[in-house]
C-alpha cells in the first residue's frame, strides 16, 4: 500500500508544520497547567500525604487541613478503644506570625507541632529522621529551603513566631505550602507558640491502624460519638482529597483549568483544521483524479484522517519532550509540579481529540474533489 | 508498419459496442440561466477503437465525456457502458464500476507531489484488491510501456510535462481498463511530447483492445483516430471513420 498520507506529510512538512505546532503547544500548555495546578494544590494535602497516619480525627466540618479547630484531647482514649487502632498521636496546627532577623515584615506561617520521636506518624515521609530528632530540642523549628529568603533566616538563626523565640535547627525540602510558609516543630514547642486561649487540645489526632486497608471502614466506625465533644474522622485518602478539592474549587482554579482546556482545544482545533483543510485543498485535483479512477470517497477520507492522526502524534511527541524538559527545569527550581498518570492521559486524549476533530473538519473539503470538475 | 496491418485490424472485423448513449440530454443551471449542453444526443462507440471527439470549446464535448464515463449524471436518456446502465448505479456502485473498468487521463496531470512515478501508478491498484506483488508488477510494466522505466523513482517536480502525462497514462493503463477516457491530453504539451502521447494512446487501443475515447481539438490527433466525431452546440455534426486507421502512423499523415 502506498502510504500517501505519510509521504505527503513528510514531503510537504512545511505545509503541515503549523498544525503540528498548534497541536504541540496546545498539549504542552495543558500539560504544564495541569502539572502546576496538581503541584500547587497537591501541597495543600502534604500534611496528609507526607505522613503515615491512616485515619485523621478532627473538628466536624473541617474543609481542608489548614482550617481545623482544636478538639478535646480525651478523644484519644475513645479512638484507642477501637481494636483496629494501633497508635494515636496528636497534631497541632498553629497559625503564626513570623518575624525574622532581617527586614521581612510579618510572614504568615503554618506551624505544625508534631511528635518528634523517630517513629512519629506526622511528616514521616517528608521529614528526614535526623531533622525530626533535632525538633526535640526546645523551640527548635525546621523550614523548607525554598522559604529561607521569605523568612529571612539561615540555619542556626533565631526568629520569633507569635512573639515567642524559635531557632532554625534544620532545613528540609518538599515542605512548601500554599498561601503561607510551613514551619515544623515539636508538640511542646507548638503549644508554647499557640496564643489562642480557646485551643484546649490538639487540632487533630492521627491514628495508625493495624491494617491500613481498613482505613475507610474504621473512619466511618469511629464517627458519631459525642461523649468527648465534637469530632469527626476521615481516612487519610479521603481527607487529602477533601483538602485538594476545597482549594481547587474555593480558589476557582478547577474552573480555570477547565476553561483553559476549552480555549486551548478551540484555538488548537481552529489552527489545525485550517491547516489540514488547506492541505486537502492543495491536493484536491489529485484526490478527484483518484476518485475518477474509482478510489472511493471513504478511502480518501481515511487519508485525511490519517494525516490528522500523524499531526496529532507528532505534536504530542514534541509536547512530551518539551514538557518533560520544562517539568524537570521546574523541579530543579523548586516549582511545585506534579504529573500523574490520569493527568497525562487526559492531555493525550485532549490532543488526539483535537487532531481528530480537525481531521473530521478537513474531511468536509473533500466534497470539492468531484472528478467531474476535472473535465473542463 | 506492415501493409497487412493497413487492411483489417482484427477488432474492427466484428466490433462490439462499448459505450452507448440514447437521446441523452444535460443542462446546467446557473442562477436563472439554463444552458442546454447536450440535447437528445445518441451515439455508440465501438470497443477497441480510438474515438476522437472534437469541436470548439463550449460545444459540450467534455460534458459528453463526463456523462459517458459516469462522472456526471444526465437529465434524460440513458447511457450504457459495457452493458451497464450508468443511471441505475448509485454513487458507490459507480465508483466500483470506474475502479474495475475505466481509466482517465486529464489535461492537468494531477500527480501527487510527494509520490514517485512508480507510487503514482501503484496507488490506485492498491484499491483494486490486487496483491502487492501484482500491483507492483503492473505498475512497472505500464511505466515501461510509456517509456519511463528509467524514471520510475522520480517525483513530479523532477519530470518534464510530457513525462508527467506519460505517468498519468501509465496510472490509467495499469488498471487494465476496458474504457480509457482522455480529456485534452495533449493541450498542455509541446509538439514533440504531444505526438508521443498520441502515439501511446493509439498503441493502447491497438495492443490492449482498450476503447479509448478522447476529447481534443488537437488536429494532430485526427489522423490517428479510428473515428472522429465533430461536435457543435451539443450535437454531433459529423461522424467520420478513418479507413486506414491506427496503423496509419507518421508515414501516411505526413
Across the interface, do B110 and A288 touch by the CB < 8 Å criterion? yes
B124–chain A nearest CA distance, Å: 7
Reported pTM: 0.78
Q: How many CB pairs under 8 A join A and B?
A: 97
pLDDT digits over A295-311, tens only? 999 999 999 999 999 99
Nearest to residue A181, comparing CAs of A318, A316, A46?
Answer: A46
Q: Which residue out of A282, A286, A300, A368 would a mutagenesis test of the B interface target, given it has the greatest number of B Cβ atoms within 10 Å?
A: A286
State residue B14's pLDDT score. 53
State residue A44's pLDDT score. 82
Query: Given pLDDT bands bounded at 50, 70 and 90, which one contains residue B221?
Result: confident
Across the interface, do B127 and A294 touch by the CB < 8 Å criterion? yes
pLDDT digits over B119-138, tens only? 999 999 999 999 999 999 99
**Minimal Cβ distance to A289: which of B91, B104, B215:** B104
B222 or B69, higher pLDDT? B69
Q: Which residue out of B104, B181, B215 would a mutagenesis test of the A interface target, given it has the greatest number of A Cβ atoms within 10 Å?
A: B104
Round to the nearest angstrom and report the end-to-end CA distance of chain A: 31
State residue B53's pLDDT score. 94
**Minimal Cβ distance to B62: which of A8, A288, A376:** A376
**Minimal Cβ distance to B71: which of A4, A295, A375:** A375
The pLDDT of residue A261 is above 60:
yes
The pLDDT of residue B246 is above 60:
no
The pLDDT of residue B149 is above 70:
yes
What nine digits make up the cell of B15? 466490433
Across the interface, do B123 and A4 touch by the CB < 8 Å criterion? yes
The pLDDT of residue A120 is above 60:
yes
High-pLDDT (> 90) share of chain A, % = 63
Mean pLDDT for the stretch of residues A350-363: 94
The pLDDT of residue A152 is above 90:
no
Mean pLDDT for the stretch of residues B156-162: 94
Q: Interface of chain A against chain B, CB under 8 Å?
A: 1-2, 4, 7-8, 10-12, 283, 285-286, 288-297, 299, 371-372, 374-376
Q: How far apart are the C-alpha atoms of A256 and A19, rounded to whole Å?
A: 25
Q: How far apart are the C-alpha atoms of A204 and A164, rounded to whole Å?
A: 23
Q: How far apart are the C-alpha atoms of A4 and A23, rounded to whole Å?
A: 22
Q: How far apart are the C-alpha atoms of B198 and A72, rounded to whole Å?
A: 103
pLDDT digits over A67-111, tens only? 889 998 889 988 999 999 999 999 999 999 998 877 777 889 999
Query: Given pLDDT bands bounded at 50, 70 and 90, which one contains residue B7?
Result: very low
Across the interface, do A293 and B103 touch by the CB < 8 Å criterion? yes
Cβ of residue B105 closer than 8 Å to a chain A Cβ: no
Tell me if B194 sits within 8 A of B150, measured CB to CB: no
The pLDDT of residue B180 is above 90:
yes
Query: Given pLDDT bands bounded at 50, 70 and 90, which one contains residue B15?
Result: low
**Minimal Cβ distance to A4: which of B65, B66, B112:** B112
Q: Which residue out of B69, B95, B130, B156 would a mutagenesis test of the A interface target, given it has the greatest number of A Cβ atoms within 10 Å?
A: B95
Task: Sort out which chain A residues have CB atoms less than 8 A from B112's CB and list them.
Answer: 4, 7-8, 283, 286
Task: Sort out which chain B residues have CB atoms less than 8 A from A290's CB and list them.
Answer: 123-124
In this prediction the ipTM stands at 0.88
pLDDT digits over A266-279, tens only? 999 999 999 999 99
Domain spans in chain A, listed from the N-terminal domain onward:
4-43+252-370, 91-201
High-pLDDT (> 70) share of chain A, % = 100
Q: Which helix (H) or strand (E) holds B121?
A: helix B117-126
**Minimal Cβ distance to A2: which of B95, B96, B119:** B119
B39 or A334, higher pLDDT? B39
State residue A255's pLDDT score. 83
User: Which residue of chain B comes nearest to A7, CA vs CA?
Assistant: B114
B223–chain A nearest CA distance, Å: 23
A304–chain B nearest CA distance, Å: 14
The pLDDT of residue A293 is above 70:
yes
Task: Sort out which chain A residues have CB atoms less than 8 A from B124's CB and list them.
Answer: 290, 293-295
Q: How far apart are the C-alpha atoms of A248 and A256, rounded to whole Å?
A: 9
**Bridge partners (DSSP) listed for residue A95:** A110
The residue to which cell 500527480 is assigned: B111
Query: Given pLDDT bands bounded at 50, 70 and 90, which one contains residue B250?
Result: very low
The residue to which cell 506518624 is assigned: A121
Q: Which residue out of A14, A279, A292, A304 would a mutagenesis test of the B interface target, given it has the greatest number of B Cβ atoms within 10 Å?
A: A292
pLDDT digits over A156-177, tens only? 999 999 989 999 999 998 888 8
State residue B243's pLDDT score. 65
User: Which residue of chain A comes nearest to B110, CA vs CA?
Assistant: A286
Nearest to residue A210, comparing CAs of A83, A122, A308, A121?
Answer: A83
B69–chain A nearest CA distance, Å: 9
What nine digits make up the cell of B131? 496483491
B248–chain A nearest CA distance, Å: 29
What nine digits make up the cell of B74? 444526465
Across the interface, do A11 and B113 touch by the CB < 8 Å criterion? yes
A249 or A186, higher pLDDT? A186
Mean pLDDT for the stretch of residues B29-45: 90
Across the interface, do A289 and B106 touch by the CB < 8 Å criterion? yes
Q: How far apart are the C-alpha atoms of B158 and A151, rounded to whole Å?
A: 70
Query: Given pLDDT bands bounded at 50, 70 and 90, which one contains residue B159?
Result: very high
pLDDT digits over B82-124, tens only? 999 999 999 999 999 999 999 999 999 999 999 999 999 999 9
What nine digits make up the cell of A325? 524538559
State residue A260's pLDDT score. 85
Q: Which residue out of A3, A13, A15, A293 would a mutagenesis test of the B interface target, given it has the greatest number of B Cβ atoms within 10 Å?
A: A293
B244 or A176, higher pLDDT? A176
pLDDT digits over A41-77, tens only? 888 888 998 999 999 999 999 988 888 899 988 899 8
State residue B57's pLDDT score. 85
Amino acid at each position: 500500500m502506498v502510504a500517501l498520507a505519510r509521504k505527503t506529510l513528510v514531503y510537504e512538512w512545511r505545509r503541515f508544520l503549523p498544525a503540528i505546532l498548534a497541536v504541540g503547544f496546545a498539549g504542552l500548555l495543558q500539560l504544564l497547567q495541569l502539572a502546576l495546578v496538581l503541584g500547587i494544590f497537591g501541597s495543600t494535602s502534604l500534611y496528609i500525604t507526607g505522613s503515615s497516619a491512616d485515619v485523621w480525627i478532627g473538628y466536624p466540618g473541617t474543609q481542608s487541613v489548614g482550617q481545623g479547630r482544636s478538639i478535646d484531647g480525651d478523644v484519644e482514649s475513645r479512638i484507642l478503644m477501637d481494636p483496629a487502632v494501633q497508635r494515636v498521636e496528636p497534631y497541632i496546627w498553629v497559625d503564626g506570625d513570623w518575624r525574622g532577623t532581617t527586614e521581612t515584615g510579618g510572614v504568615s506561617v503554618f506551624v505544625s507541632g508534631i511528635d518528634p520521636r523517630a517513629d512519629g506518624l506526622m511528616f514521616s515521609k517528608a521529614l528526614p529522621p535526623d531533622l525530626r530528632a533535632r525538633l526535640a530540642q526546645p523551640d527548635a523549628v525546621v523550614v523548607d529551603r525554598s522559604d529561607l529568603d521569605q523568612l529571612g533566616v539561615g540555619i542556626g538563626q533565631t526568629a520569633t513566631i507569635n512573639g515567642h523565640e524559635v531557632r532554625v535547627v534544620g532545613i528540609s525540602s518538599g515542605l512548601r505550602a500554599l498561601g503561607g510558609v510551613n514551619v515544623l516543630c515539636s508538640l511542646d514547642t507548638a503549644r508554647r507558640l499557640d496564643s489562642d486561649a480557646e485551643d484546649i487540645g490538639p487540632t487533630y489526632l492521627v491514628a495508625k491502624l493495624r491494617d491500613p486497608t481498613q482505613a475507610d471502614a474504621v473512619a466511618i466506625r469511629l464517627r458519631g460519638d459525642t461523649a468527648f465533644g465534637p469530632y469527626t474522622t476521615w481516612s487519610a485518602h479521603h481527607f487529602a482529597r477533601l483538602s485538594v478539592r476545597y482549594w481547587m474549587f474555593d480558589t476557582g482554579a478547577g474552573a480555570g483549568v477547565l476553561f483553559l482546556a476549552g480555549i486551548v482545544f478551540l484555538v488548537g482545533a481552529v489552527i489545525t483544521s485550517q491547516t489540514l483543510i488547506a492541505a486537502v485543498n492543495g491536493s484536491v485535483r489529485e484526490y478527484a483524479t483518484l476518485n475518477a479512477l474509482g478510489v472511493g470517497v471513504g478511502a480518501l477520507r481515511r487519508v485525511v484522517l490519517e494525516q490528522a492522526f500523524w499531526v496529532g502524534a507528532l505534536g504530542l511527541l514534541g509536547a512530551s519532550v518539551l514538557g518533560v524538559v520544562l517539568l524537570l527545569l521546574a523541579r530543579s527550581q523548586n516549582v511545585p509540579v506534579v504529573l500523574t498518570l490520569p493527568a497525562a492521559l487526559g492531555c493525550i486524549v485532549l490532543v488526539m481529540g483535537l487532531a481528530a476533530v480537525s481531521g473530521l473538519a478537513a474531511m468536509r473539503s473533500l466534497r470539492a474533489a468531484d472528478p467531474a470538475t476535472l473535465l473542463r | 508498419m506492415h501493409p497487412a496491418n493497413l487492411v483489417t485490424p482484427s477488432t474492427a472485423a466484428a466490433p462490439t459496442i462499448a459505450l452507448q448513449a440514447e437521446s441523452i440530454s444535460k443542462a446546467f443551471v446557473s442562477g436563472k440561466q439554463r444552458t442546454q449542453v447536450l440535447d437528445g444526443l445518441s451515439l455508440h462507440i465501438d470497443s477497441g477503437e480510438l474515438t476522437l471527439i472534437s469541436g470548439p470549446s463550449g460545444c459540450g464535448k467534455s460534458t459528453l465525456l463526463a456523462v459517458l464515463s459516469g462522472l456526471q449524471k444526465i437529465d434524460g436518456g440513458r447511457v450504457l457502458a459495457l452493458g451497464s446502465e450508468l443511471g441505475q448505479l448509485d454513487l458507490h456502485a459507480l465508483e466500483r464500476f470506474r475502479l474495475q473498468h475505466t481509466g482517465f487521463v486529464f489535461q492537468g496531470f494531477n500527480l501527487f507531489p510527494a509520490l514517485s512515478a512508480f507510487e503514482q501508478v501503484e496507488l490506485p491498484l492498491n484499491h483494486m484488491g490486487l496483491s502487492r506483488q501484482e500491483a507492483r508488477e503492473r505498475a512497472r510494466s505500464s511505466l515501461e510501456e510509456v517509456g519511463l522505466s528509467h524514471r520510475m523513482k522520480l517525483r513530479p517536480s523532477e519530470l518534464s510535462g510530457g513525462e508527467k502525462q506519460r505517468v498519468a497514462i501509465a496510472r490509467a493503463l495499469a488498471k487494465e481498463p476496458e474504457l480509457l477516457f482522455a480529456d485534452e491530453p495533449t493541450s498542455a504539451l509541446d509538439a514533440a511530447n504531444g505526438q508521443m502521447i498520441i502515439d501511446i494512446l493509439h498503441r493502447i487501443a491497438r495492443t490492449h483492445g482498450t476503447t479509448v475515447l478522447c476529447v481534443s481539438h488537437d488536429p494532430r490527433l485526427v489522423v490517428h483516430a479510428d473515428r472522429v466525431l465533430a461536435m457543435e452546440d451539443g450535437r454531433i455534426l459529423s461522424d467520420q471513420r478513418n479507413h486506414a486507421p491506427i496503423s496509419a502512423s507518421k508515414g501516411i499523415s505526413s
